[in-house]
């Protein structure tokens, strides 16, 4: 089945010249590198090391939405608390361990209550 497409004689052809596109059609934000792992790329239940104010703590991804990722963080006292971070936060890896934050995490890791 072939379709014959023709235009009316009143219609003029428009030639596009590079640079003729309106600025609003171009992306306003440069595209991010797809190879950089982000917090939003981790599945729910994933464990990671999180930089806190004084030390590095264990955290687990408990919820994810378009505008934030919720982490459950273990405190040295044995309790847990939740923090929210943007999903585009960059991660680094130490082997297979995801790390959210910068610095030497092994030296400053929080000591947890060993009774449990």
pLDDT tens, 10-42? 666 555 555 555 544 444 444 455 577 889 999
Question: What secondary structure letter does DSSP report for 55?
Answer: S
Question: What secondary structure letter does DSSP report for 12?
Answer: P
Looking at residue 42, what is its pLDDT? 92
Question: What secondary structure letter does DSSP report for 31?
Answer: P
Taking the whole predicted model, whether its pTM rises above 0.85 is answered as: no
- The β-bridge partners of 51 are 56
Structure tokens at 7: 């235009």
62 CB-near residues (< 8 Å, 6+ apart): 44, 45, 70, 71, 72, 82
Q: What is the DSSP string of 91-111?
A: -EEETTEEEESSS-TTTTBPP
pLDDT tens, 48-81? 999 888 888 889 999 999 999 999 998 888 789 9
């Amino acid at each position: 089945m072939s379709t014959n497409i023709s235009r009316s004689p009143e219609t003029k052809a428009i030639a596009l010249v590079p640079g003729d596109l309106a600025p609003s059609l171009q992306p306003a934000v440069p595209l991010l590198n797809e190879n950089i792992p982000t917090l939003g790329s981790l599945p729910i239940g994933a464990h990671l090391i999180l930089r806190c104010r004084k030390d590095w703590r264990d955290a687990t991804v408990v919820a994810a939405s378009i505008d934030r990722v919720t982490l459950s963080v273990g405190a040295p006292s044995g309790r847990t608390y939740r923090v929210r971070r943007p999903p585009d936060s960059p991660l680094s890896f130490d082997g297979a361990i995801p790390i959210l934050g910068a610095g030497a995490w092994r030296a400053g890791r929080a000591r947890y209550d060993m009774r449990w």
